[in-house]
Amino acid sequence: MLLDNGVSPNGVTIVTLTSILSSKQDHFRSKLAITMLACHLNRIKGVRAVSVDPGAVNTSMTETIAPRVRKLLRKIGIKSSLINADEAAEAVVIAANEKQPINTYRNGRKYSKLWSFVLSAQNGIELEKLSRKMLENAFEKGRNL
């Protein structure tokens, strides 16, 4: 729980799940926004936000990955076999408990640098404004049902 001044009294760690690759643009955009949100939250005193991309996890969603996409993933260095849910969970637990290098996200078993546009304070502010507007619109539509 954050106080009115945006400071957590006891400190808090927030873990967000991200993805750097997706066959669907909307899915990629949502994961990118989550990564940007974590960067923005890290600017709040008492908040530690960690972005984790555990890797391609074997789920019902991944059963439909086209063979050409799997081939592309192998070509750029992603394992041909998908990780299981336990391996993904392990990446999340490690990221939540380890001190994360600045301006990075957890990428499977290692940390990777974030892109400069993700780190941009102005982009974080714009994302927050857009998010508020989207929520207001959603609540307004809900009231009109």
How many angstroms separate the CA atoms of 63 and 83, rounded?
Answer: 13
Find the Cα–Cα–Cα–Cα dihedral 129, 15, 118, 26, rounded to 10°. -70
Segments forming the whole domain that contains residue 16: 12-56+84-143
How would residue 39 be classed by pLDDT, with cut points 50, 70 and 90? Answer: confident
The predicted structure's pLDDT at residue 3: 41
- Per the listing, tokens 């799940």 go with 17
Beta bridge partners of 112: 105
Q: Is residue 89 part of a domain?
A: yes
Q: Is residue 73 part of a domain?
A: no
How many angstroms separate the CA atoms of 27 and 47, rounded?
Answer: 26
Q: Is residue 1 part of a domain?
A: no
Q: Is residue 100 part of a domain?
A: yes
The pTM score is 0.58
pLDDT (average), residues 44-72:
79
- pLDDT at residue 128 tops 60: yes
HSE of 95, CA atoms in CB hemisphere, 13 A: 29
pLDDT (average), residues 77-99:
79
Among 57-61, 95-99, 141-145, the minimum mean pLDDT is found in 141-145
